[in-house]
Structure 1
Amino acid sequence: MTRFTAAALQMRSGTDPEENAETLSRLVAEAVAKGAGYIQTPEMTGAVQKNRKALMAVLKGEDDDIVVRTASSLAERHGVYLHIGSTAIAVGDDMVANRALLFAPDGTVAARYDKIHMFDVDLDNGESWRESAVYRPGETALLANLPFARLGMAICYDVRFPDLFRSYALAGAEVLTAPAAFTKQTGEAHWHVLQRARAIENGAFMISAAQAGVHEDGRETFGHSIIIDPWGHVLAEAGDVGEAVITAEIDTDQVAEARGKVPNLKNIRPFSLEERQATQAGAEKA
């Protein structure tokens, strides 16, 4: 049996990475005071900025990024695993990586994951996003082996691609993650059902820190940072606006228990897909 306390930090990141790094320091200290040994932040911890030119003006490479340096120092100072849900990192050719970084208690980077699926959508009321115009998609899923759990890394829009999470579960992941900056519109419609579905169908814990509220760049994010157990129960949840630190005790034995009750990962069977043209006559016979 392995037990640990996990924390999800809800933020309302602005456009200034230095100010966001200060907020990060304060919220991490609060999570540590609550006993957390694993702490996760939202997508775009370093800056929420939809204007490409303005974003590029404040971006740095990973070695020079203020959030990366701050997170490394915080992980070492507090002796915790600190998972930066993502931050924008300049990668050359006028492109950006939406990158998650997991820092070990000695301050080193234990894992990196670049968001694979780009949020290119056209929503109601004229809301439209084209992440692929700014961000270079990742190509590799990342399963991190922590001393207390195996953790599958994902970011925001990735949560809509169940094959990614199924791959993690089949590889032994006990904790799945999707730190996010969900829009209010998509969050109201889909956040809870997607988060619970990924937990239930994989018999795994789901931990997703989120951005919340109206940001300096004008966008509005849904919030509701959440921690869910392998049976789909919500263990902790934040509200829809403002900062918050939520925590929950994670008992990895619950993963085996859930997968024992409903062994769908073991019951997967190969199948073929057949397509037929259903004529009226054929439909009547059927």
Structure 2
Amino acid sequence: MRLALLQMTSGIDPAANARVLAEAVAEARSSGAVMIFTPEMSGLIDRERAARAIASEADDTVLAAVRKAAAAHGVWVHLGSQPIRREDGRLANRGFVIDDGGRVCARYDKLHLFDIDLATGERWRESAAYAAGEEAVAVWTPAGMLGLSICYDLRFPALYQALSGAGATLLAVPSAFTRPTGAAHWHLLLRARAVECAAFVIAAAQTGLHEDGRETFGHSLVVDPWGEVLLDMGEAPGVAMFDTDLDRIAQVRGRLPVIEHRRAIPTVRTAS
């Protein structure tokens, strides 16, 4: 089955980002892909979080443009994430799965928020603007059951174990990894999640120098259930196609039935 991956350098203008996304959906269709995956914050990256540009889901112009493109071209879209204003006024870092008729069939709010001080002097406090999600989400797609996550979630394997335990055979990790953390951990963590869950991992990433001054790592990846990297997009923005052999999941899980062998972890006893 042919799928597509968008690697992009999102800016602070939602309209410009929406055009890139719509063009990517069209390119995916012309290349025979049934679904395309996009990065975290596809429609807006802004260090100051520019409240004026963030709308409710019903009024979000980027989401509307992607839904229109999905319906026009008959392509499923995983819009990796988009900043959305919730009814309570707080913001959500929310991912969407959109079917080939333009219908939103799943939503996921990022569970783990990126609050960190890096050795480079970069300081991030995602929780200062965003509210954390409260549930894990998996959804059926033409490629199989897709487990949803966003960026920093990657460091918390229990989420992916829950998703694969619920039937997910593909795991989406849309991201905007910083250069330092990406160079250190990106490939390592994605391959680990694929092996632990015996699932395909599809990670669309932001790349390059953004208008707000941040730099992201790129290297959008597809990893198979055995941990082999099937696609690495490097640092250039663009759309890449990849063909998945869904039989590979059953082959790997038959060889190493890690999901079947999982046990609930008992209370930890500390010994002196």
TM-score normalised by the shorter chain: which range applies?
A: over 0.9
Q: 2:218 and 2:200 mapped to 1: Cα distance? A: 19
Deviation at 1:154, TM superposition (A): 0.4
Which residue does the alignment assign to 1:284? none
Q: Is residue 173 of structure 1 aligned with residue 159 of structure 2?
A: no
The structure that has the greater radius of gyration is 1
Asked whether the 8 Å contact 1:47–1:87 carries over to 2, the reply is yes
Which residue does the alignment assign to 1:238? 233
Q: Is residue 145 of structure 1 aligned with residue 145 of structure 2?
A: no
**Against the structure 1 CA distance between its residues 93 and 173, is the aligned structure 2 distance closer, same or farther, given a 3 Å change threshold?**
closer
Cα displacement string for residues 110-134 of structure 1 (whole angstroms, at most 9, x for unaligned residues): 1100101000111102111110000
Asked whether the 8 Å contact 2:94–2:110 carries over to 1, the reply is yes
Asked whether the 8 Å contact 2:29–2:74 carries over to 1, the reply is no
Asked whether the 8 Å contact 2:97–2:107 carries over to 1, the reply is yes
Query: How do residues 1-286 of structure 1 correspond to structure 2 at under 5 angstroms?
Result: 4-52=1-49, 55-240=50-235, 242-272=236-266, 273-277=268-272
> What is the TM-score of this pair, normalised by structure 2?
0.96
Q: Which amino acid aligns with 1:23?
A: V
Q: 2:87 and 2:107 mapped to 1: Cα distance? A: 17
Q: 1:120 and 1:12 mapped to 2: Cα distance? A: 22
Cα displacement string for residues 209-234 of structure 1 (whole angstroms, at most 9, x for unaligned residues): 00000000000000001111111111
Q: Which amino acid aligns with 2:215?
A: E
Deviation at 1:92, TM superposition (A): 4.5
**Against the structure 1 CA distance between its residues 271 and 181, is the aligned structure 2 distance closer, same or farther, given a 3 Å change threshold?**
closer
Report the more deviating stretch, 208-217 or 231-240.
Answer: 231-240
Secondary structure of 1:145's counterpart equals strand
Report the more deviating stretch, 268-277 or 165-174.
Answer: 268-277
Aligned residues: percent identity?
47
Cα displacement string for residues 171-198 of structure 1 (whole angstroms, at most 9, x for unaligned residues): 1111001100001110000000011111
Deviation at 1:71, TM superposition (A): 0.8
Deviation at 1:27, TM superposition (A): 1.8
Deviation at 1:146, TM superposition (A): 1.8
Count the aligned residue pairs: 271
Asked whether the 8 Å contact 1:182–1:222 carries over to 2, the reply is yes
Segments of structure 2 that go 5 or more residues without pairing to the other structure are none
Q: 2:183 and 2:200 mapped to 1: Cα distance? A: 22
Moved over 6 A (4+): none
Cα displacement string for residues 16-57 of structure 1 (whole angstroms, at most 9, x for unaligned residues): 0001001111222222222111101100011110113xx201
Asked whether the 8 Å contact 1:237–1:246 carries over to 2, the reply is no
**Against the structure 1 CA distance between its residues 143 and 214, is the aligned structure 2 distance closer, same or farther, given a 3 Å change threshold?**
same
Segments of structure 1 that go 5 or more residues without pairing to the other structure are 278-286
> What is the TM-score of this pair, normalised by structure 1?
0.92
**Against the structure 1 CA distance between its residues 195 and 147, is the aligned structure 2 distance closer, same or farther, given a 3 Å change threshold?**
same
